[in-house]
């Protein structure tokens, strides 16, 4: 029997993988992809609760999460392109201009 807790543990695992990617990788494109993984983990939680409570509102919120993810990907990749044009790098360790 698969309960909501199973889905929540799966979502926690996927979220942690995304977090690990953000924390350890230096390629900014892979960091953005890790953020997409984390948003997907959130969506799995929404859908699992929508199923458990038999309430479609969770799916509506998942649609909004997808909208925000699409906007974030478009603007984030635009920023990466603009940065790459100026600095010729996508390594976040070299993006330290405003670092204290």
Partner 1 sequence: MVDAVAFYVLAALILGFGALVITAKSTVHSVLFLVADFLCVAALYVTLQAQFLAVIQVMVYAGGIVVLYLFVVMLVNLKRPPEVHSDPRRLGRLGVVMSVAVLVELVAIFALGWSKPEVTGGGGLSPKNVEQLGRLLYQDYLIPFEVASVLLLVAMIGAIVLAKREL
Nearest distance from C-beta of residue 98 to partner 1, angstroms: 14
DSSP character at residue 95: -
Nearest distance from C-beta of residue 97 to partner 1, angstroms: 13
CA distance 33 to 21: 9
Nearest distance from C-beta of residue 68 to partner 1, angstroms: 7
SS3 29: helix
Question: Are 9 and 72 spatial neighbours (Cβ–Cβ below 8 Å)?
Answer: no
SS3 54: coil
**Nearest CB to partner 1, comparing residues 94 and 97:** 94
**Nearest CB to partner 1, comparing residues 53 and 97:** 53
Residues 6+ apart with CB under 8 A from 59: 46, 47, 50
């Amino acid at each position: 029997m698969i309960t909501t807790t199973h889905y929540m543990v799966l979502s926690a695992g996927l979220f942690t993988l995304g977090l690990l990617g953000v924390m350890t990788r230096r390629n900014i494109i892979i960091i953005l992809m890790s953020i997409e993984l984390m948003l997907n983990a959130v969506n799995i939680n929404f859908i699992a609760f929508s199923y458990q409570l038999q309430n479609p509102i969770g799916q509506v919120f998942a649609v909004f999460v997808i909208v925000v993810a699409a906007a974030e990907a478009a603007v984030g990749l635009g920023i990466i392109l603009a940065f790459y044009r100026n600095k010729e790098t996508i390594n976040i360790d070299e993006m330290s201009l405003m670092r204290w």
